[in-house]
Structures are given as C-alpha cells and as structure tokens.
Structure 1
Amino acid sequence: MSKNNPLTEEEFAGFKPARRILQYIETFRLNSGLSKEDINILDWGCGRGRSVLWLQDEGYNAFGVDVDQGPIDNASALFQSKGHNPSVLQLLTQEGKTEFPSNYFHITFSSQVLEHVENLDAVAAELFRITKPEGIGFHTYPARKHLVEAHLKMPFIHWLPKNILRHQLIALFVLAGREPRWPGLRSPAEKTEAYYRYSIGKTFYRKQAETKAVFSRNGFRVSFECINDPLLARYVGSSAKGSAMKTAINQLLTEFLKVELLITKP
C-alpha cells in the first residue's frame, strides 16, 4: 500500500520489521540487560510508522520521525485504535532536527532512507546528539552499484552522471516498458521527466568511504555489516577464511548488493 493511504489493520496484520533490524534490537536488549519498555528506539524515516507500531505492540518504547507529515497523519487512526499515542511519530524540522532530548535513544534505525538524504552531515550530527553513549544505529539501504536502481526499477541509471546521459537511458527504459508506472503520468515524455527529476533530486548514492567519513567526523564508530548477515554467511563463510578475504567480500557486498551501516556512539 502507498504511504499516501491510511494505515489499516488488515495491512498491518501482515507486517513485520526487517529481519536484520530486529536482530540488532534483540542483540542489544540481551547484551544491555534492559527490559523492552526501558529501551528507547527511533525509526528515522518512519513513513506511516509501521515499524514503530509493531515495536510498541511488542513492548518497546519506540518513536518515529519523517520529513513528510502526510504519512504520519495516515497512521494516526490505527495507532489510536490499538491504544498507542500517535504523537510518537513526529515531523523533522526544516533543519533536519528532532524535538528529542540529547542522549535519549539506545537504538536508531532506518530502512531505505539514507540514500534519499542530500545533507548526510546534518543527519549524522542529529543522530549523534540524540543517541545515548554506547547506543547504536543500524541503517540499511541499497548499494551504490546495485544493478537495478531500487526505486525506479531501472538497471544502471544510478551508475550514470546526473545529466543528459541518465535522462536518455531513463527514456529508453520508459519506451521499453521498464518503469515503476507511477499513477498520474501518461505520456512517455512526462514519465521520463518525472523519473529523471526523482533520480537527480531524491537519490544520493555514496561511496562507502564517503559515508564512513561523514559519520566518523560526527563522532561515531562506523562499520559495514553485510558480511555478518547469518543468511549471507552460509554462502560466503567457507570462502572467507582470512580477515583480508572477509574484508574484500564485505566491500563487494556493500558496493553491489546492499549497505548495512552500523554506527556506535562512544
């Protein structure tokens, strides 16, 4: 369902947060010795707050922030009907700030959000401010060199510069019928322009080194965790016998498959 539609009980009944996010939350809970209700969790880029609502149902003290008021409003009725306060979902300020106190969250997370952030420094600084010492953040998003761009579903367009080359490739995919088919767009020219504007204005794929530098200079310890996914370990574990090999495989996974960014506040 679209974020522009109200969140319904029927839709929510089939929802569960991403497996890896839940793994990190559970590991933190066990290692910290804290009860669920004592762990403050923030979903950065929460949309309609499905993950927040699921975590609250499980007993966690969960919150969400987003840049768009519409999806937050579309969650309000279901939050209330399930006995939760919809005010736990908040709108980010125009400066990318939250209203939470400093050193508040044990865990922050996001899913397919950071690739949409133009000013990553501002996000990193705010995450550092609101994260408790020894708190963690787990942020997952599409890899920079994934063969198919995750949102427009078009191969290789995000590999090209944000110029006429990308525009022309998008136009070719539209003519070939390889497109996300957003509602309200009719002609091939209209579709091409809308998809191109989205790709240059709403997606910002970065090199691993750049992302690491941003979070490091804002105070976090940074690591990329793809290689530690238990499902991937089944396939790469036997071949990654040395630390150098594991590092190389992890870099390839992060560059071409997905990014799993783990940040820790000292």
Structure 2
Amino acid sequence: MSSSAIEPLSTVSGHEHIIPLRLLATLGVGLPRTAKILDFGCGAGATVNALRALGYVNACGYDVVQGRHNSGVDQEHIKVGTVLNLRLPYDDNTFDLVISDQVFEHVQDQVRVFEELHRITAPGGYGLHLIPSRYRPLEGHILVPFGGAFQHRWLYKLWAVLGIRTRHQKDLSANEAADSNAYFAIEATRYVPTSCYRVIWTKLGFEYRFAEQEFFDGHGRSSMRRIGRLGKVAPWLYRTFRTRVVYLRKPV
C-alpha cells in the first residue's frame, strides 16, 4: 500500500461502528479506500456491507456456509466454500487486511487456515482477529459455564439437570441435551490455547501482538474505556476469560 494513499481512519465517518477499523485507528494504522479487505467467516456479510458503504470498494467476504440472513448484502462480493477444501479461492499476496470476529473457535484445522491467510495477505498487510477464549465463564453456544475449557459430557449433563438449555433444547431430556452439547463441542468448536497461537504465527512468519489495550482505548462505550485504564490486568483478564484481540502483520 502506498503511504501517500492512506487516509487516517479517524477522518472516515462511521468507522467507529466497525470494530476492525476502530482498532486500526487506535493502533495508528490507516488504509486507503482502495485497500483489499477480506472478512474471513463473514456470515451473512454485514461487515462487508458496512465497509463497502463507507467506500471500501474492495471489501469482500468468505465463509463456508451461505449467510442465514442476507438482509440486502450484495452476494456478488461473498465467496462460499466448504470445510473440506481449505485452500481459499484467492491469489497469493492479495489482501491488505484480513479480519475475523468470533470465527476461529469453529475452525478445526487452524494451522492450515492461518497458512492460507498468510499466503493471501500482501507483504506489509495486516490481520485483525477476535478469537474467543476457551476459559470464557459461559460458553456462548451451549450456555454451559466453562463449557469450552472442560468439554465433558458429565458437565453438560449436570447443567442440563439444573435446567440449563439453549432455545433449541427446551423439549429435550437432560440426557438428550447433554448428548447434543457433547456432539456440538467436538464437531463444531476448537478452542486453541494462546500459547499454541504464538507458535503458529511465529512459524508462519507473522509479526503479532495482542491488542486488547487498544481495543479498550478505542471502544465506543465509555465503560469499556474506563476498564482499559485499570492497567495491565484488564487486557490480561479480557484475553484470558473473554476474547483474544490479535494484530498480525506480514513483513515486507
């Protein structure tokens, strides 16, 4: 990206409502409106739609299932693949920015996927990824306390007996709900420790840092900005028990 083409994100009206742009602004990184941006795991494409509405004409998305609620999203800019084909349909060194939000907990072969993201990121390009922690006090998909860290049927059965159910499990017995959650945990989630991510990114050649402090500093809610002023403990707690906010760069 040519530095002369970079526009400070603080001047882009509406950017504060899109987490990746807000984070980049706090990190002091600007992007030209012509930057090629990929939302990996874009779902229905709401973020792609928002980026394009802000003038990022080369924003696009990728997911392995069709968006459940298209809600006016231009599907021309979203590619759909399968979990069986992990080679992404993009040329080498294509994207200036790759983003994801609450996606990697569903990716089974994360080493392979990060290899692909490294391949398609342009030299000097960036990655911003929000990756849920395995130690979240409440696993948000099955609503079981610490159900991501301790993936045991007996734990799921205990909470099912106590009446904990997702909205799809209201009519299931405790055993059926426990079986359903155990299947989901194995089939649809993959919580990777932070230490493993450090090894993956280093081996691939990404420069990386955790950007939870910048996430707090540039947050749209004043309460979150106040939490960020508590010192080093706030980013550590957020990273450990909520979400890893990861800033990657592919060296030139």
Which structure 2 residues correspond to residues 107-256 of structure 1 after superposition, within 5 A?
107-160=97-150, 162=151, 166-182=152-168, 186-229=172-215, 230=217, 231=219, 232=224, 234-237=226-229, 239-240=230-231, 246=232, 250-256=235-241
Please say if residues 17 and 54 of structure 1, whose CA atoms lie closer than 8 Å, have aligned partners that are also in contact: no
Task: Give 5+ residue unaligned stretches, structure 1.
Answer: 1-15, 241-245
Aligned partners of 1:103 and 1:133 also within 8 Å: yes
Which string of whole-angstrom CA distances, capped at 9 and with x for unpartnered residues, describes residues 68-90 of structure 1?
1x327x53x823xxxx4x22111
1:262 corresponds in structure 2 to 247
Deviation at 1:56, TM superposition (A): 1.4
Partners of 2:113 and 2:81 in 1: how far apart?
11
CA distance in 1, matches of 2:186, 2:31: 45
- Structure 1 residues 182, 33: CA separation in 2 closer, same or farther (over 3 Å shift)? closer
Letter in 1 for 2:50: W
The CA distance in 1 between the partners of 2:237 and 2:54, in whole Å, is 35
The equivalent residue for 1:62 is 59
Cα gap change, 1:140/1:211 in structure 2, threshold over 3 Å: closer, same or farther?
Answer: same
TM-score, normalising length from structure 2? 0.80
Aligned to 2:78: 89
Q: Following TM superposition, by how much is the alpha carbon of 1:44 offset from its aligned partner in structure 2, in angstroms?
A: 0.6
Counterpart of 2:93? Answer: 103
Deviation string, structure 1 residues 17-54 (Cα, Å, up to 9, x no partner): 964323135568x84462x1x11111111111111112
Query: Identity percentage over the alignment?
Result: 27
- Following superposition, the deviation at residue 194 of structure 1 comes to 1.2
Check conservation: 1:43, 1:65, Cα contact below 8 A. Answer: yes
Q: Is the 8 A contact 1:143 1:259 kept in 2?
A: yes
The 2-side partners of 1:153 and 1:187 are apart by 16
Query: What's the C-alpha RMSD, in Å, of the aligned pairs?
Result: 2.6
The total of aligned residue pairs comes to: 229
Structure 2 residue matching 1:42: 3-state secondary structure: strand
- Where 1:193 maps in the other structure, the secondary structure is helix
Identify unmatched segments of 5+ residues in structure 2: 1-14
1:21–1:121: structure 2 CA closer, same or farther, 3 Å change rule? same
Q: Structure 1 residues 18 and 220 mapped into 2: Cα distance closer, same or farther (>3 Å)?
A: farther
The structure that is helix-richer by fraction is 1
Partner Cα separation in structure 1 for residue 17 and residue 148 of structure 2: 24
The normalised TM-score by structure 1 is: 0.76
How far is 1:157 from its partner? 2.1
